[in-house]
Structure 1
Amino acid sequence: MIKFGTDGWRAVIADEFTFENVSVVSQAVAEYIKSEDKLRDGVVIGYDNRFLSEKFARKAADVLVSNGISVYLCEQAVPTPVLSFSVVKHKSFLGIMITASHNPYEYNGYKIKMDCGASASQEITKAIESNLNKVSPLIDEKELSNVIYINPKNEYIEYVKQIVDFENFKKADFEIIVDNLYGPGAGYITDILSETAIKVTEINNYRDPLFGGVNPEPLAQNTPELLEMMQEEKSWRVGIVLDGDADRIALVNSQGKFISAQETFVLLLEYMFAVKKKQGAVAKAFNMTRMLDKLAKKYGINLIETKIGFKYLATYLINKEVILAGEESGGYGTSMHLPERDGVFNALLIIELLALTNKMPEEILQSVMQEVGSYYYSRIDISTPDSKVKDAVMNSLLSETIREFGSIPVKEKIEFDGIKFLLENDGWILFRTSGTENLLRVYAEGRSEDNLKSILNSGKTYVERFIKT
């Protein structure tokens, strides 16, 4: 069954994600465009490095152009945010990105972008879903030559060089390393910084539809080569990891230690408010670090907390209500740019921060922790036999009076996007269910690594007693 999730439709290639189903979805998109009378505004289509992505993209283009819709098709794989940029540049009505982002290699997906570059709203995806199989996919051989091929890479590079303070990059002289996880972000950071003295080393910068045997998600376990190289050489100021479609980012410090997505957001906040002296509000997802609350108080920032998922954060960016927004999975957006996650652009902000401060990322984080205290974050995903077990755990958490986690007393229980327990030492633990899998996600933050481990283990123990029974 074809169904759009929080950011598009994703499915296993040759199972549900087939040329036939891509045609069905594309015809549904065409019917939506017709209903909005936007045929001339048209669509930009991009794709990533996954197996057959370029052919799925061409199939979508064929259906749309056969329906009389103007179509721009990227002639090579591009990052998702570059597709979003191109939608805005061409003043198109929608964008389509063939990608499954950070999902395993056997998946592919179909993302839809609005004219502002952000992911399609729920109203749009519901309207498209309602059109599925209403009309058989149209292929008109006479129209196929009307697809216009574009290469938006150079335009994107010139655009981002204009919206960052590029002179600050020209003054810098250090080395960085980028792990592209075999995605379409390869070469972008190198090309952007080619006129500077910053030396860029890139690894995993070629197409491998199997992603080297790992999920293309920017997590420590998926970047063993990068971590080993940085721990041995120690010549790079920072390591940058881009995910499978380059809309998310992770960092590694100069000693080869992985920097959490929570800490990366702290670095971006320091860039905006401590270094660039910006003014404005910040939006964070419900599972983000308490360090942000402390820093918001320090800088007099209005801090907005949203449900988990970038679509909730993007609403504030679209409406220009915040200048920075971030989520736990490494997706960040700023008002300087599109209302969209962009791993390449956020990497540039981090590089500029290091250039302006002349510090290592760990030095900046250490300075922040000396001021607001130390916080350590992690998450575990626990498989459950079925949805009944998930529901039983959540119902018990909601109804039961739980007095402690990891020997730390519970201060408050919050039901918002999951069930969150605030602890007396300013730590917390959050339980959420996956909407698509039989999984319970347990997020936690502690005041030391041992404290974090204890909190997470107690949460895991709580969940597992329902599985065993």
Structure 2
Amino acid sequence: MELYSTQDGFLGEIAKGFTFAQLARLAAGFGARLEAEGVRRVVVAHDTRFLAKEMAEEAAGILGGMGLETFLLKGPSPLPLFGFALEELEAAGFYLTASRKPPRYQGVKLRLGPGKPLSPEGILLPPEAPQGRGSFQVLDRKKAYLEHLAQSAGGAQGKGGVVYLDTLGGAGGGVLPGVWKLLGLEAELRELHPLPHPLFYGVDPDPKPENLPTLLALMRAVEPPAVGLALDGDADRLAVVLPGGEPLSPEGVLEKLGQALEGREVQADGEGGYLFPWHLPERDPFLAALLLLRVLL
């Protein structure tokens, strides 16, 4: 099996197209491109998939062995945290994730810098995996990201009520509870499937209705004020469910965000991704969720 090209990286089935040997070639090819561009600093991160941590450590070792100043984000990291680290360190990025794909897949998203996706056409893979490994630093920027997220969200959002959040066992678990405390929100947050799970609790990590049976059942029974939220595997997309179990379309979410933002910019991709250029150069569903509380609770 071969690796498949995506808009900003590569994808393959674990142990078939996406192996440790192929990963090493990807990291070496990416490192060579960084050297050609004069980029000397890189951040590596990973989602919750099978062997993602070990693969991230392997990639970080290869990039470090090429003389790059290399940082590995601690633990499974949502894409917005990865983007925050790239901006803070002015670094390139190598993020192990297959996003919304089924659990048997893994992939990598490449960044030449903050908000600068790198097309696979820009990577020349060496014929063999490199042998040398170097050092890297483990980086924990979750607290700093939460503080930045709270600042971007502003004061307390919405009123009392219930907020269900299904993270599907992906990289987004535990983020909203942290910022909830920083903002002192009145609503009760109930997080579903928050622990990292390589099989995503038996569903694909894509927040479509067919993958959200628990959340939909709860939202059909709940009384307003309440809102249901769900994330994809690497936590860069958001789905919203209203009381009664009715999903809110991406167009509807964008309209509600426009009401909450009162003129501040938001960009949408039509598939649940919402980017706030004044906040981060990557999509951030956590900020979208916090803003939505202003108009949905």
Deviations 1:414-464 (A, max 9, x none): xxxxxxxxxxxxxxxxxxxxxxxxxxxxxxxxxxxxxxxxxxxxxxxxxxx
In 1, Cα distance between equivalents of 2:153 and 2:285: 14
- Equivalent residue in structure 1 for 2:245, among 252, 256, 259: 256
- Equivalent residue in structure 2 for 1:120, among 104, 117, 134: 117
1:89 aligns with 2:74: no
- Equivalent residue in structure 2 for 1:132, among 125, 128, 132: 125
In 1, Cα distance between equivalents of 2:174 and 2:225: 18
Whether the 8 Å contact between 2:173 and 2:196 is mirrored in structure 1 is no
Deviations 1:55-90 (A, max 9, x none): 110110010001111111012001011111101111
What residue number does 1:271 align with? 260
Please list, as runs of the form range in 1=range in 2, the aligned pairs for 1:152-191 lying within 5 A after superposition: 152-166=141-155, 168-169=156-157, 172-191=159-178
What residue number does 2:55 align with? 56
What residue number does 1:208 align with? 197
1:196 aligns with 2:185: yes
Of structures 1 and 2, the larger Rg is shown by: 1
1:227 aligns with 2:216: yes
Identity %: 28
In 1, Cα distance between equivalents of 2:153 and 2:186: 17
In the TM superposition, residue 24 of structure 1 has moved relative to its aligned partner by 0.2
In 1, Cα distance between equivalents of 2:8 and 2:37: 21
1:344 aligns with 2:255: no
In the TM superposition, residue 138 of structure 1 has moved relative to its aligned partner by 4.0
Letter in 1 for 2:101: N
| Shift in alpha-carbon separation, 1:337–1:267, aligned structure 2, 3 A | same
Deviations 1:192-225 (A, max 9, x none): 0123222100011112211122111111111010
Letter in 1 for 2:219: M
In the TM superposition, residue 2 of structure 1 has moved relative to its aligned partner by 3.5
Query: When the two structures are aligned, how many residues end up with a matched partner?
Result: 294
In the TM superposition, residue 119 of structure 1 has moved relative to its aligned partner by 4.8
What residue number does 1:26 align with? 27
Deviations 1:120-144 (A, max 9, x none): 143xx3221xx2126752424xx3x
Whether the 8 Å contact between 2:237 and 2:284 is mirrored in structure 1 is yes
RMSD across aligned positions (CA): 1.8
Whether the 8 Å contact between 1:183 and 1:205 is mirrored in structure 2 is yes
In 2, Cα distance between equivalents of 1:330 and 1:132: 32
Deviations 1:165-212 (A, max 9, x none): 12x33x732221100011111111111012322210001111221112
Structure 1: gaps of 5 or more residues: 280-322, 355-359, 361-469
Whether the 8 Å contact between 1:181 and 1:242 is mirrored in structure 2 is yes
| Shift in alpha-carbon separation, 1:236–1:185, aligned structure 2, 3 A | farther
TM-score (norm 2): 0.93
Please list, as runs of the form range in 1=range in 2, the aligned pairs for 1:403-418 lying within 5 A after superposition: none
SS at match of 1:338: coil
SS at match of 1:21: helix
Bigger relative contact order, structure 1 or 2, given CA contacts below 8 A and separation 6+?
2
| Shift in alpha-carbon separation, 1:247–1:36, aligned structure 2, 3 A | same
Letter in 2 for 1:91: E
In the TM superposition, residue 3 of structure 1 has moved relative to its aligned partner by 4.5
In 1, Cα distance between equivalents of 2:68 and 2:139: 16
1:324 aligns with 2:266: yes
| Shift in alpha-carbon separation, 1:138–1:69, aligned structure 2, 3 A | farther
| Shift in alpha-carbon separation, 1:23–1:152, aligned structure 2, 3 A | same
Deviations 1:246-292 (A, max 9, x none): 100000112222112221122112223xxx2x26xxxxxxxxxxxxx
What residue number does 1:394 align with? none
In 2, Cα distance between equivalents of 1:155 and 1:198: 23
Q: Which consecutive aligned stretches of 4+ in structure 1 deviate over 4 angstroms post-superposition?
A: none
SS at match of 2:138: strand
In 2, Cα distance between equivalents of 1:223 and 1:89: 34
